[in-house]
Amino acid sequence: MKIASRLPEVGTTIFTIMSKMALEHGAINLSQGFPDFPVDSKLVDLIHVRMQEGFNQYAPMPGAPALRQVIADVISKTYNRKTDPETEITVTAGGTEALFSVIAALVHAGDEVVVFDPAYDSYNPAIRLNGGVPVHINLTYPNFSIDWEVVKSKITSRTRMIMVNTPHNPSGAVLSADDLKTLQKLAVQHDLIVLSDEVYERIIFDDIRHESVLHYPELANRSIAVFSFGKTFHATGWKVGYAVAPPHLTTEIRKAHQFVTFSVNTPVQLALAEYMTVPAHYLNLGTFYQKKRDYFLAGIKGSSFEPMECHGSYFQSLSYAVIADLPDMQMAEELTKKHKVASVPVSAFYQDKTDNKLLRFCFAKQEKTLDQAIEILRKF
């Protein structure tokens, strides 16, 4: 039977490729973005308790009421925005499902969606699978900032949505208040929806404020902000996130969400609801990861790798331009197979495969893991 693929050029993700390569060659895996340290035992115990209490059946489709209420309380304290847990918060199977459900609900056939590269690799396929047309704009190298004049030139009568990601994966760049104000102005002027991927909201450094769309009332009224418990609580394998949007957008998002996932596992939702009532469980995350970033950078100081500025996320991009003239995929393979440290070539995040000779390293690791990688990288 012949099947015409809707994503003919899409294969295994670069994260899976590099992690598999790391395993096969016994390399230290700093490629895929997951911590190698444990989840807080208090949170794990709370899940066990909820399971034993019998909370093992379907949760309500929008999410457990207790969890949505806690999320609303946290949003109020963090962004000074009152959010209705009944009509504006939807718990999803991770940030990726939230992004897909938003696009499925709000992007119509032929609608254009502006995407900034380098971008997380689910954006483009999600847009195309739902009939949309991705319009890719490369961020300005080397600081990975948005050239808003270019954005203005790309907006047409068919533009439906702009997707932003801050703190940014893979670069670690963050949007400024001026960026958000410009985005707000453009969104209002052209009647656009903004989909804001903010899964690393708590992982931001150097005393910089996370500029969420939720900080800006006019922007928030036409935006969807996506968050991830997996990133915040070192539990990426649980795949639990949430989307925050005004009621008229949430109504449509839930129509898609109920047929993509329906609901997210109940005991984890209830455990998170209780765990989040203690602000200390999430407020110090930026400090925690900044120490890891600084530890990694101090360790490789003196090598020929050149660090790019990183103000958020748990990824550090390093330039190897003075080390080798190899394409980044080839450099990543050589570093993994020959030198036993796995990274991700940043060209994989570009639709046009722009190659700035950058590799992305995940520093969400124990010090002993980082020490092993540092010892190798310092030899360059």
The full set of domains in the chain, from first to last, is 14-32+284-377 (3.90.1150.10), 41-280 (3.40.640.10)
Tokens of 182: 């410009």
Rounded to whole angstroms, how far apart are CA atoms 168 and 26? Answer: 29
Report the pLDDT value the prediction gives residue 2, as an integer from 0 to 100: 87
The pLDDT of residue 311 is 98
159: β partners: 112
> 164-179 as b/e, with b when 16 or more CB fall inside 10 Å?
bbbbbbbbbbbbeeeb
How far is it, in rounded angstroms, from Cα 47 to Cα 55? 10
Regions of the chain with pLDDT less than 50? none
Which residues pair with residue 28 across a beta bridge? 341
Q: Is the dihedral of CA 99, 103, 104, 105 positive or negative?
A: positive
Amino acid at 34: F
**SS3 assignment, position 155:** coil
* pLDDT at residue 135 in the model: 98
Q: What's the predicted TM-score (pTM) here?
A: 0.97
